[in-house]
Structure 1
C-alpha cells in the first residue's frame, strides 16, 4: 500500500453537499489539510487544494492542485489586471483521465506537440510557432511512483481551448474506485461541515 493511500485512510474526514458538489475535507496526521470537490452527477474531481499549518499554528493559504481560486474582485479597484486573452491553465480529472484545459490558445491542433520528460517526470507542451510553452506535473503519478507513458497522452483543440488528456493507469483507477465507494457512503451536511464516517 502506498504512503498516499495510508494517509487518506488514516486522515480525519468531514463532508458537505453544496451547489451540486460533494466537498470532502481531510486533516492528515501532520496537520496538513486537503479539500476536494466532486460533481454529484459524474463524481469527476474538479477541485483539490492543500494548506499547511504555520509554525505558530495558524492556517496558511490554500494551494490549488486541481481547479482554481474563485476570488471575486471588484474590477474597478484594479489598476492592473490580466488580459482576458492570456492563456488560462486549469486541471479537472475525470474517471479515466487526468485532464488539463488551456483556454485562449487559438492555434490549430497541428501546432502543438507534447512529450514526456522522464527525468523531471513532467509533460512538456510546445508550439511550433513558439508562442506557448508549458511543463505539467501529475502529482498522482508521483504519489503512486508510476512512470509516465507517452502513449497515454492525447491532445484535442476546440473553441480556442487546448485539451490535454493523460489516460489513468489501472492502479490509480482501482484505487479511486475504492475511495469513491467510501466517499459516496459518507453522510453529509447541507448546512455546514460535520464529522463524517462511512455508514
Structure 2
C-alpha cells in the first residue's frame, strides 16, 4: 500500500502586524551592523509593549501587551539566558479566554483530553509532528515520525518565499518552514547556515543564528532585566 504524500504549508493568513514586517523587509536593505535591530519594527514594538515579569525557580516569564492588542509570552532560562518558549494569544472565535499558539518551545498543556480527543491523538500519532527549539547559537526544528534516511531529504533556503523548504526524493513529504526571527530583522536566509541530520525517525534542521540576531537577543535580555518581577502571579500568566 502506497503512502500518500504529506503536504503541509505553514503560511496561514498574515495579519496586519506580520504584513508590516514583510513590507519593512521589502523596502529596507539588509545591514550587518551590531545595532541594525534597533531600527526594526519588531524591536521597537518590544520596547513599546507593556511588560510584566514573573520568576519561578530558574524560569523568567515575560508577558507582553502590544499597542495593537496582541499578547505574547516568553520564557527564559535564567542561568543560560536562552529563550525556551514564545507563544501568542489567539482570541476565541465565540469569546472566552482563547488559547496560546506556540511559536518556539513545547506546546502548552491544554487540560486533559476527552475520550474523543484521545482517540484522535492515537490515530494521528504516526503523523509527522513539528516542534521548534531555540539554543544560544541555533534555531532548530524537529520533525518526528519521518522514517526515511537522511539522503532522502532536500533542505533548501528560498528567499523568494522566505521559507526553508523540505522535500523528499520519494515525494512522501513536503514542508515549508517559516523563520520569523529573520523576517523580523530583515535578514536573508543563508543556505550555508542550514544543517540537517536524522536519527530515531526524527529529522533535525538546524539554522545557525546570524550575528545581528545574536546581538539583538543579547541586548534584549539585558533590557528585560529592567522589568521588575511581580510577587503575585498575574491571571494572564497562570495558564502558562
| TM-score (norm. length: structure 2) | 0.71
- 1:48 aligns to 2:86 (yes or no): yes
* Structure 1 position 61, deviation (Å): 3.5
The change in CA–CA distance for 1:13 and 1:189 in structure 2 (over 3 A counts) is: same
RMSD of aligned residue pairs (Cα, Å): 2.6
- 1:115 aligns to 2:169 (yes or no): no
Q: Given the alignment, which residue of 116, 120, 124 partners 1:80?
A: 120
The change in CA–CA distance for 1:106 and 1:190 in structure 2 (over 3 A counts) is: farther
Any idea what SS the aligned residue of 1:5 has? Answer: helix
More helix by proportion, 1 or 2?
Answer: 2
1:130-158 deviation line (CA, Å, top 9, x unaligned): 22211001111111111111111111222
CA–CA distance in structure 2, aligned partners of residues 63 and 52 of structure 1: 6
- 1:94 aligns to 2:132 (yes or no): no
- 1:29 aligns to 2:67 (yes or no): yes
CA–CA distance in structure 1, aligned partners of residues 225 and 115 of structure 2: 43
| TM-score (norm. length: structure 1) | 0.85
CA–CA distance in structure 1, aligned partners of residues 63 and 184 of structure 2: 19
Partner of 1:170: 211
Unaligned stretches of 5+ residues in structure 1: 195-199
How many residues of Structure 1 are paired with residues of Structure 2 in the alignment? 194
Partner of 1:105: 146
* Structure 1 position 109, deviation (Å): 1.5
CA–CA distance in structure 1, aligned partners of residues 91 and 53 of structure 2: 20
Unaligned stretches of 5+ residues in structure 2: 1-38, 236-240
* Structure 1 position 64, deviation (Å): 2.2
1:7-55 deviation line (CA, Å, top 9, x unaligned): 111111111223642211011112211111122333322221223668x
Per mean C-alpha deviation after superposition, the further-off stretch among 117-126 and 106-115 is: 106-115
The change in CA–CA distance for 1:182 and 1:86 in structure 2 (over 3 A counts) is: same
* Structure 1 position 177, deviation (Å): 0.3
Q: Given the alignment, which residue of 22, 44, 51 partners 1:13?
A: 51
CA–CA distance in structure 1, aligned partners of residues 231 and 149 of structure 2: 44
- 1:71 aligns to 2:110 (yes or no): yes
* Structure 1 position 191, deviation (Å): 4.7
Contact 2:90 2:101 in 1 (8 A): no
CA–CA distance in structure 1, aligned partners of residues 220 and 100 of structure 2: 23
1:151-199 deviation line (CA, Å, top 9, x unaligned): 11111222222111111111111011001122245432465139xxxxx
